[in-house]
Amino acid sequence: MTSPWTVRAPGESERESFALLARAHEAAVSDRATLTGVRKLVQESWQRSLSHRVDPSLAGAEPELTAEQLRDLRRRHPLASVLPVVHNLLIRHAFEAGLIVAVGDESGRLLWIDGDHVLRQKAESMLFVEGADWSERRVGTSAPGTALALNHGIQIQRAEHFNQLAHPWSCTAVPIHDPDSGALLGVIDITGGDDAVAPQTLPLVEAAVAAVEAELRIQRLGLPPDGGATARFQVALTPPPPRKAAPAGLQVLGRDHGQLEVGGANLEVSPRHAEMLTLLAWHREGLSAERLALLLSDQAGGVDTLRAEMVRLRKALDPLGRAFTISSRPYRLDASIELDAQRVLAFLERGAHRVALGAYRGPVLPSSTAPGVAAIRAEVSARLREAMLSDASAELLLEYARTEEATYDTEVWRACLELLPARSPKRATVVARLKRIDAELG
């Protein structure tokens, strides 16, 4: 009896006929389906691939999105907020296992890819890259595209792929659904060798998807679709259960005004108050008045000015009540606070370079001239740059190079050139960028 995993790789004559079938599929759909040892769902997927006129001998088209369009698409996608869950459950293990983890949107476009660096470079030859469309309509049978087409988890092994360039690869993918509406949000895919379709891989990805959907539901707690009107009407009848308070958060990356989030309330703070809160969040043990004044300004006699500004800061924090207060002697934040700059560094320390870059919105309070803030800004920027240069894949390093911070960094662009495969079409863009930098900077 033929094993369901026994798939005969097409011969040269068959490959030639497949290209013809892609142009005249109506008369030849059954030809490919007659291959022995092929699962029915794979045969049906091949038929759909032929109906979409996919050429099995060609790689999918180059991503049509610009780097900025891709960043904007990822920034707005609902799965962006749950990437840490994907990293903790799958990506950090993928490096050790020699696998790639991809997260795509509901249309099959790959938004995030991370995992084994060498494998990622090899996958570029079949255009398995961020921004590429891996739906059945574009590349034919594959785990991410077919999982979305069937709306359930699937494993595709080697020659089961419709595209010949994907025959050395195997993959497992599971779609992600909106926890409230049930609508498709995207797909998680694991790609690699035979380990990517091991018996335990599919349950592992299904468990990760369940965790992602649960996290999405948790993030939405307390946000009813009618803006809270129903909750206010029902509160006298059934008071909501107590919720564990989330840690306060301070957003200072890429912005001059700080954004403070405490207990579901948002408060924008002035640039000076943002500097003070950033320094106190960075130095969790607290700072004396003299030390804090020195970190805010290198001018002598700044303690009296600091104390007056601290009074104004505490008054600005009054709307938050006792949820967020500042102690004296030393000055110290009473509540636990999560600084977005520290979160980026935490991702880097865990090896989640892609997640770290996605969370990096820009330099810390870029317009600040406070010595202490400038030091924090330089440290975060330097550690991110070093991590990108030492550990990032070619694709991720290119993404970093296109940020405003690295756009004129010739060392980063030259590193991209070294990492890209010799035949990568992206090399021309990198060379052109280096020439432009030389011309502009002389």
Look at residue 121 and tell me whether its pLDDT is greater than 90: no
- Range of 202-216, 320-334, 350-364 with top mean pLDDT: 202-216
Q: Which pLDDT score is estimated for 110? A: 95
pLDDT beyond 60 at 24: no
Q: Place 135 in a pLDDT band, splitting at 50, 70 and 90.
A: very high
Q: What is the predicted pLDDT for the residue at 64?
A: 78
Please answer whether residues 401 and 414 qualify as being in contact, where contact means their C-beta atoms are separated by less than 8 angstroms: no
pLDDT confidence bin for 347, thresholds 50/70/90 = confident
The pLDDT value recorded for residue 157 is 93
pLDDT at 235 over 60: no
How high is the pLDDT of residue 354?
78
The candidate with the shortest Cα–Cα distance to 71, out of 423, 294, 360, is 360
DSSP code per residue over 280-299: HHHSTT-B-HHHHHHHH-SS
In which band, very low, low, confident or very high, does the pLDDT at 356 lie, cut at 50, 70 and 90? confident
Kindly list the distances between the CA atom of residue 98 and the CA atoms of 93, 94, 103, 109, in Å, as whole numbers in the listed order. 9, 6, 17, 23
What is the pLDDT at residue 299? Answer: 60
Distance CA(226)–CA(406), nearest Å, equals 43
SS in 3 state form for 95-132? HHHCCEEEEEECCCEEEEEEECHHHHHHHHHHCCCCCC
Q: What's the average model confidence in pLDDT over 164-192?
A: 94
Could you tell me the pLDDT band of residue 394, with boundaries at 50, 70 and 90?
A: confident
Q: How far apart are alpha carbons 258 and 339 in whole angstroms? A: 10
3-state secondary structure (DSSP) of residue 184: strand
Is the pLDDT assigned to residue 427 strictly greater than 70?
Answer: yes
Q: Which two tokens mark 285? A: 């043990």
269's enclosing H/E stretch is: strand 265-269
The whole-angstrom separation of Cα 275 and Cα 41 is: 58
* The pLDDT value given to residue 3: 30
pLDDT confidence tier of residue 368, bands split at 50, 70 and 90? very high
pLDDT > 70 fraction of the chain, expressed in percent and rounded: 83
407-423, pLDDT tens digit by residue?
Answer: 999 999 999 999 888 88
Q: What one-character DSSP code corresponds to residue 247?
A: P
> Residue 306: which region, alpha, beta or left (left: phi > 0; alpha: psi -120 to 50)?
alpha
Residue 424 has pLDDT above 60, yes or no: yes
Contact indicator for 170, 197 with CB cutoff of 8 Å: yes
pTM above 0.85, yes or no: no
- Rounded to the nearest integer, the mean pLDDT of the chain is 82
Residues contacting 144, CB < 8 A, separation 6+ = 102, 104, 108, 110, 134, 135, 171, 173, 187, 189
* pLDDT of 271 higher than 90: yes
The residue-averaged pLDDT of 271-281 equals 93
